[in-house]
Structure 1
Amino acid sequence: MESSTPDHKLIIYQMLPRLFGNTKTTNKVYGSIEENGCGKFNDITDKALSEIGKMGFSHVWYTGVIEHATMTDHAAYGIKTDDPDVVKGRAGSPYAIKDYYDVAPDLAVDVNNRINEFQDLVTRTHLNGLKVIIDFVPNHVARTYASDMRPKAVRDFGEDDDTSKDFTSENDFYYIPGEHFKVPSGYNPGGDGFVSPLKDGHFEEYPAKATGNDVFNPAPSINDWFETIKLNYGVYYLDGHKTYFGHVPPLWYKMHHILTYWAEMGVDGFRCDMIEMVPVEFWAWIIPKLKVSHPELIFIGEAYDKNQYYNYIQTGGFDYLYDKVGLYDAIRKLTCNDEWASTWDINAVWNNHCKGIDAHMIRFMENHDEQRIASCFFAGDAWYAVPGMIVSATLATGPVMIYSGQEVGEPAEGEQGFSGDDGRTTIFDYWGVPGHQKWVNNGAFDGGGLSPQQLQLRKFYSDLLNTVKNNEALRTGEFYELMIANEQQPGFDTRLYLYLRYTDTQRVLVVANFNRAERNIRVNIPAELLNQFNLNANANFTDLLTGAVFSTPDIMQGVDVDLKPVGGLLLAF
């Protein structure tokens, strides 16, 4: 089965509701929810969504919606307390799911009404012209997983497992019979200030289950995904990865029921976590099955093995895949002014492992897993992302994604808790995002606290995304690279990237300058293209981002352009 893509370009805004609406600025390392605060579904107001829509976005990816294990005690609401020895961070990882049929109680104003508050958010999002994406985490769940919100007719994960066997395709989990699970030594959950009667270096799990990152022994290391347990899709890893799909494993049906549950709640798409750790046969079974009843659903796969891209799109049925090991890596090197970086690396992306599937690749420069552009671990300056973002947004018809805070240059400075000081905004801890909070401005969502530089940066992102949204050539047009046609031109170097996007009615010349200095170049457009466009005389080129005009008396001889350091142009002609 080959996936089809929508006839419009997805422009995705990723946010963690836990961080997005939080206006507290305490930011105590390993701070509690009371100390550091936590955003709520209700904080994502009509005003907030309206402003997101005005930036050009079509979809919002709400990260961390489904209930996950946490060190915060919700026992007063009838929710079982998690053992902190198998939780990462005070807030917990959004990818250690505790109940697939529930939402995180931290995100509700009224915990007992939490599902309704999420449903209201879905409705608000739709009324503001945006679509909803949430995470689907198929490979693993929290060690404390137990669904108390599932329908009574649905059997819970592991409920019918034969725990005396390390593997059978009828089991939901993998087991290490006769062994007790061992918490990694040296783990200090919640930091030195966190006190809990359950914080004792022990978690009772017998027999031990396999750990999420394919660790099939009872004692994962502190660097493993020790807080999670691996789900069993019918692959016997300890016997040469043999597959047992003749009889559809029970887990497959359970996952179909879960995704149907969320789709019927109005969710428009799923960002699927670590898809390569789940057999492609499962995706080929479940995606078309879901699209029979929900044909508009979209599936985005987090994938890193470029040799498997075609497999997951053409066989697995994914609409889109991450282009991390590809365009992200190439652009990151250029953005960081790496000595060996070259824009020919961008050519290698679309001309090799993305050839023929470019429209299925989602492009980004930040997400929750990657370091902030403005951090000292990446570029150290948010403005250095300008040429990379222009390329990411306009190279192809596939989606482009921005991570909340990126548009105001959030640097993610300092230690935050379990996340440490690594240039990322923590997903494990209660935290306020300082740059983003200045835009939130205590719930006004008007940018009232932003500096002139931050306002200017946000305007760049808004102008870029709205230009892509409203320009047919950039949204749906053909692609023609101009590197070979210009490599002999004066001023050309391999920190410049040049290409055309065009339709029958619109044309845009894209010129990106990754150099830290100005560049002047005469851009040559091949005669066969100009003949196709019926152009052979004088022409004006207007930058869609700034309105600047570049003129040429003879388009057949090229057009001279001046490029600012780490800048770019979208020249309509």
Structure 2
Amino acid sequence: MAGLIHLLIALMLVSSVVCTDSFPHIFELSARPWLYQLGLKYHKHMMLEDVPDSEIKYYADRGITHIYLLGVWSIGAYGLNHDRTDAGLLADYKNILPDFTTADIIGSPFAVTKYTINPQIGTTSDLKNFRDRLNSFGMKLILDFVPNHSAIDAPTATSNIDLYVHNTPSQSAPFDRSIMTENGVYYGKDKYGYVWTDTAQFNYFNADTVKARTADLFAVAALADGIRCDMAMLAVNEIFSGIWGSTVSTRGYTQPSTEFWQTAIAAIKSRYPDTIFMAEQYWGMGDKLLSLGFDYVYDKEGLYDTLSGLSGGDESSYIWDIKNYVKNTLASGFLDHGAHFIANHDQDRAVYHWGVDWRADLAGMVTFTVPGLRFHWMGQWEGHRNKLDIHLRRQKTEAADEVCVSFYDMLLPILRDHKVFHAKDARIEYVEGSDNDAWKILALRMEHGSEGVLVAINLSKESASASIPLPHVSGAGNVTVKELVSGTAYSRDADTLRNQGLFVEVSSNYLQVFTYTV
């Protein structure tokens, strides 16, 4: 049933969503920490306009197509004071960064007062120029939109309180300050009751709110090539109704017949048709958000959690969980619309999460070779273990992990130099090889134009071999097959490759990538 749903969504997307012809390869930079790091490197106070072209070129040279710049929007004094005085947050900072100072606390990028550029990083002109410079290196810019809430001290929180979920004063029912502000506006929260006490909750059952939020979305789209939408499922009618429906009904609001995302994304794409929409999403809402117009949705509950081994069991169960997830979502079309990552600002560092560097790298082998949006986080390529909290401008200092550095030095050029990894119209097939231990290998056969690539990832702790057919290989007699990780070229009989397959022997928890001519 799930596969059918994914297939129907994929068919709808073909006709309704304007997309580029390549899967994005994204690197996330937290703006203020990045500028702080560059300031230490270049021994000067760094603003966006001061970033050298060489720092931008670094990402282009490694095949990145989009920079997701987190935290460019204006934040207020309320949120900054909140983050510098909240006891729970201060305890977290102490654990993450024992020597933190007040100056290190920079405020949450998700408590936005308005969608204008934070003067701590520059001006609107600086951001436009940064985007132009990215474009000159063949890259594009992705910025945040926070649909669920604004900062407590956003201008609209006092000038137009009806845009928010709020109560009216009552002597018999005084405001509960644990869940709302002094003027009765509720703090933002999720469906599990987690409350963000530095934010004010928008009311998506108010048509005026939908108009105002669409206008904010236009402000972001005017400055970006793509938009990452924070906790996007919170603005979906069924989710909003479950959290706030009974509260807003007391003020006469009922669930609208249309969805915010469907109308807002359509409006944005009518003016900016190439804008990419990426949804942060959980709670199994990916299919729904894709049907409302998103190009990509977080694949956290799918590929990330599967690679994390949350289902438990022995090694064989773990391997089959990964292989079956890739097989089923590739067949349904859902994998193509996943935003695949092993770390970002919400998740722990990859090496910390998987426990050791080689396990994090194994997760990366799968994550960054399957089709879809590939999503990297600052510090990932260096194998950092220490968290970079979004409220802080720096993390605990650590040396680079050479295992991770070597891994990305190997993998990124392969992804960069072979279009088959990025082309949305490539023919991509999940394949099972023959031989006794072939089940240990996740194999994908990718073909685009005359280029063929076979990715073989050994998910087990022992070496494994398989014969994997290449039915579309061209030529007669001996043809060349090149293995990209080692750089070794092999001469193999074309008929044998087509009928019996290419024999591969892959080291434990590693991969081989072969190219051939179609």
Task: Bin the TM-score by the shorter chain.
Answer: 0.7 to 0.9
Give the structure 2 partner of residue 497 of structure 1: 442
Give the structure 1 partner of residue 488 of structure 2: 548
CA distance in 2, matches of 1:142, 1:124: 31
What per-residue deviation string (whole Å, max 9, x for no partner) do you get for residues 336-394 of structure 1?
A: 9975422443423551598233322111111111111122xx12333333333232222
Q: 1:408 and 2:382 equivalent?
A: yes
Shift of the alpha carbon at 1:505? Answer: 1.5
**1:451/1:425 CA distance change after superposition, 3 Å:** closer
Give the structure 2 partner of residue 479 of structure 1: 428
**1:459/1:230 CA distance change after superposition, 3 Å:** same
- Kept in 2, the 8 Å contact 1:38–1:431? The answer is no
Matched residue SS, 2:486 = coil
**1:549/1:305 CA distance change after superposition, 3 Å:** farther
Q: TM-score, normalised by structure 2?
A: 0.78
**1:335/1:183 CA distance change after superposition, 3 Å:** closer
Give the structure 1 partner of residue 236 of structure 2: 279
Give the structure 2 partner of residue 333 of structure 1: 309
CA distance in 2, matches of 1:451, 1:394: 22
CA distance in 2, matches of 1:332, 1:43: 39
Shift of the alpha carbon at 1:52? Answer: 0.7
Of residues 289, 293, 315, the one that matches 2:271 is 293
For residues 28-39 of structure 1, what are the structure 2 equivalents within 5 Å? Answer: none
What per-residue deviation string (whole Å, max 9, x for no partner) do you get for residues 62-121 of structure 1?
A: 011112346798xxxxxxx77855795632221111x2232233334xxxxx33333332
Of residues 123, 127, 131, the one that matches 2:140 is 131
Of residues 198, 202, 214, the one that matches 1:256 is 214
Give the structure 1 partner of residue 196 of structure 2: 225
Unaligned stretches of 5+ in structure 2? 1-11, 91-104, 238-258
Q: How many residues align?
A: 454
CA distance in 1, matches of 2:29, 2:195: 26
**RMSD over equivalenced CA pairs, Å:** 3.3
Shift of the alpha carbon at 1:55? Answer: 0.5
Matched residue SS, 2:453 = strand
- Kept in 1, the 8 Å contact 2:79–2:151? The answer is no
What per-residue deviation string (whole Å, max 9, x for no partner) do you get for residues 375-421 of structure 1?
A: 2xx1233333333323222222x211111111111111xxxxxxxxx
Give the structure 1 partner of residue 295 of structure 2: 319
Unaligned stretches of 5+ in structure 1? 27-36, 74-80, 109-113, 147-155, 162-170, 185-203, 235-243, 413-423, 439-449
- Kept in 2, the 8 Å contact 1:18–1:38? The answer is no
Q: 1:572 and 2:515 equivalent?
A: yes
- Kept in 2, the 8 Å contact 1:174–1:209? The answer is yes
**1:25/1:124 CA distance change after superposition, 3 Å:** closer
For residues 354-373 of structure 1, what are the structure 2 equivalents within 5 Å? Answer: 355-373=332-350
CA distance in 1, matches of 2:20, 2:327: 20
Matched residue SS, 1:303 = coil
**1:506/1:232 CA distance change after superposition, 3 Å:** same
Give the structure 2 partner of residue 391 of structure 1: 366
Q: 1:429 and 2:372 equivalent?
A: no
Matched residue SS, 1:144 = coil
CA distance in 1, matches of 2:489, 2:401: 29
Matched residue SS, 1:465 = helix
Name the aligned partner's letter for residue 64 of structure 1.
G
Matched residue SS, 1:56 = coil
CA distance in 1, matches of 2:204, 2:283: 20
What per-residue deviation string (whole Å, max 9, x for no partner) do you get for residues 458-500 of structure 1?
A: 4124324313xx33365341121113x43xx123344x21121
CA distance in 1, matches of 2:458, 2:70: 33
Shift of the alpha carbon at 1:558? Answer: 2.9
Of residues 174, 181, 192, the one that matches 2:165 is 174
Matched residue SS, 2:512 = strand
CA distance in 1, matches of 2:24, 2:451: 20
Shift of the alpha carbon at 1:272? Answer: 0.4
Q: 1:520 and 2:464 equivalent?
A: yes
CA distance in 1, matches of 2:465, 2:307: 21
Give the structure 1 partner of residue 406 of structure 2: 456
Matched residue SS, 2:163 = coil
**1:252/1:56 CA distance change after superposition, 3 Å:** same
- Kept in 2, the 8 Å contact 1:474–1:508? The answer is no
For residues 173-252 of structure 1, what are the structure 2 equivalents within 5 Å? Answer: 173-178=164-169, 179-182=174-177, 205-214=181-190, 224-234=195-205, 249-252=207-210
- Kept in 1, the 8 Å contact 2:230–2:280? The answer is yes
CA distance in 1, matches of 2:376, 2:394: 20
